[in-house]
Structure 1
């Protein structure tokens, strides 16, 4: 765990260099440290090294970690995994962002269960950009219909899109996501976020306008 700070420093160095190469604004790109399955001590090590945005895939794990680390008031929790309706309350009460909205029912439950004392829950619509039967997300053709419904929920704030391309299809998928993002922004000016790119393909995602990249292995090492 001693090298988490070094790995994080290297990740930000690489991100900065890639942004310079692409003439992209580093200030518009958020690096999420994907901390799923990692112990609280690993998150604390990353926090001490300056990291504030963390991604979790499982509602119970998110809730447990957020509670245990509640003393760190500036940690920003991103829920990035699939979400079932019986687990929405945990996410509504502990997350700042949800990247994986694919059904209106889930969005409605998050809206109803979001505590009034908290700021609006920022949400992204997950697009099944490679049309994989095994993967969550809506079809691109359904994007605007779901966006319109989600945008009307008072405790949620529609912020953009997320996708996880099929292996070997990253470039085609990222290019398509960039166009969908531009289409969404024409109707919802605040929906500027594009969450795509992981440890193996994030430089390519940046080229196609990613504003959030999700790094787990590159920071914390192989998953437990």
Structure 2
């Protein structure tokens, strides 16, 4: 028998077992096999339960990841608008009203949000040529944070939230109010576009990095859903670890042009960059971020080319700036900033994160 054997409720059987990941382990006896726990365990029919870890503790690291630890983010999926999803939302609201720890956490989050909003206002005021009607959209990046944190901020007026992982967003959005505007800001994999397209209250995707992905997102978006705002990601730092198109490249223009002319269910909003960590840290110390300057320059080039070739006046929005550098981003013209840790605090490891 191998670990991939189909699941049984609790059946008795005799076997001579050779563990595929523990090649030296052999035993023969009648065992009871149940899979109700994260780790498969074997129990002697008339003895105490034992597990692979207790048999050979030194080989724990040899077990495959899906068996060696529980993936906490693997919460249940709910159908949008279903009774089960509504029940989860009701329980979260009830907890925010009655649970002392939840109420304290909500107050902390709201204070953090108000602090960021105050800094945004100050940065706008300090910006040369600032106008009162210049909008800076604050996206609260809730990656790896529980649904109740998001609900607490939404109940206090925050509308826009950002997620980095499609699967996490897919599990969060049905159990939270449809009045939330979701932003996807992570690396976009082609295999995940179908799910992303079917999130009705998906407001924007900030990480389009080629025309093919844009065309696929457009094709898979249901006809009766609102259009998705899209930002084309630019790799302003030139780092191999960063996604995005090269500044001023033909591929960048082709992607922008394809979205504008061939994707009726998408709305080309502007450009996005992440930038280098060192430049973000420098911006925090008062220096201008070179990545932001590059994005401003590229946006101006595209605006001019749209007007020259298509005869249209375009003003692009810039999605740039995070917790360490959003004030500098605003000073250089950011229309959209993505702030996570300054609002929600330090993130847990992905393996330890939970939605509920």
- State whether structure 2 residue 259 is matched by structure 1 residue 180: no
- 1:145 — aligned with what? 254
User: What's the CA shift for 1:191?
Assistant: 5.1
Task: Quote the Cα distance in structure 1 between the aligned partners of 2:178 and 2:277.
Answer: 37
Task: Quote the Cα distance in structure 2 between the aligned partners of 1:111 and 1:93.
Answer: 11
Task: Quote the Cα distance in structure 2 between the aligned partners of 1:189 and 1:49.
Answer: 37
User: What's the CA shift for 1:190?
Assistant: 4.7
User: What's the CA shift for 1:184?
Assistant: 2.1
Query: Contact (CA 8 Å) 2:126, 2:331: kept in 1 or not?
Result: no
Query: Contact (CA 8 Å) 1:128, 1:136: kept in 2 or not?
Result: yes
Alignment of 1:125-144 (within 5 A): 125-142=232-249, 143-144=252-253
Match of 2:321 among 189, 197, 200: 197
- 2:184 — aligned with what? 79
Alignment of 1:111-130 (within 5 A): 111-130=218-237
Deviations 1:46-75 (A, max 9, x none): 111210000001111112111111xx2321
Deviations 1:6-36 (A, max 9, x none): 1001110111111111153464110000001
Deviations 1:60-107 (A, max 9, x none): 1112111111xx232110000001111001111112200000011211
**Number of positions where the alignment pairs a residue of Structure 1 with one of Structure 2:** 222
Q: The residue matched to 1:96 in structure 2 has which SS?
A: strand
Q: The residue matched to 1:168 in structure 2 has which SS?
A: helix
User: What's the CA shift for 1:141?
Assistant: 2.5
- State whether structure 2 residue 220 is matched by structure 1 residue 102: no
Task: Quote the Cα distance in structure 2 between the aligned partners of 1:60 and 1:146.
Answer: 25
Task: Quote the Cα distance in structure 1 between the aligned partners of 2:171 and 2:161.
Answer: 14
- 1:57 — aligned with what? 164
- 1:165 — aligned with what? 275
Match of 1:30 among 133, 137, 141: 137
Higher deviation after alignment, 36-45 or 180-189: 180-189
Structure 2 unmatched ranges of 5 or more: 1-104, 281-288, 307-311, 349-356
- 1:90 — aligned with what? 195
Structure 1 residues 203 and 19: CA distance shift in structure 2, 3 A: same
Task: Quote the Cα distance in structure 2 between the aligned partners of 1:158 and 1:201.
Answer: 25
Structure with higher Rg: it is: 2
Q: The residue matched to 2:244 in structure 1 has which SS?
A: coil
Task: Choose between structure 1 and 2 for higher RCO, CA contacts under 8 A separated by at least 6 residues.
Answer: 1
User: What's the CA shift for 1:173?
Assistant: 1.0
Query: Contact (CA 8 Å) 1:120, 1:157: kept in 2 or not?
Result: yes
Query: Contact (CA 8 Å) 1:8, 1:49: kept in 2 or not?
Result: no
Query: Contact (CA 8 Å) 1:197, 1:213: kept in 2 or not?
Result: yes
Deviations 1:95-141 (A, max 9, x none): 22000000112111101110111111110000000111111000013
Structure 1 unmatched ranges of 5 or more: none
Task: Quote the Cα distance in structure 2 between the aligned partners of 1:62 and 1:185.
Answer: 32
Query: Contact (CA 8 Å) 2:209, 2:233: kept in 1 or not?
Result: yes
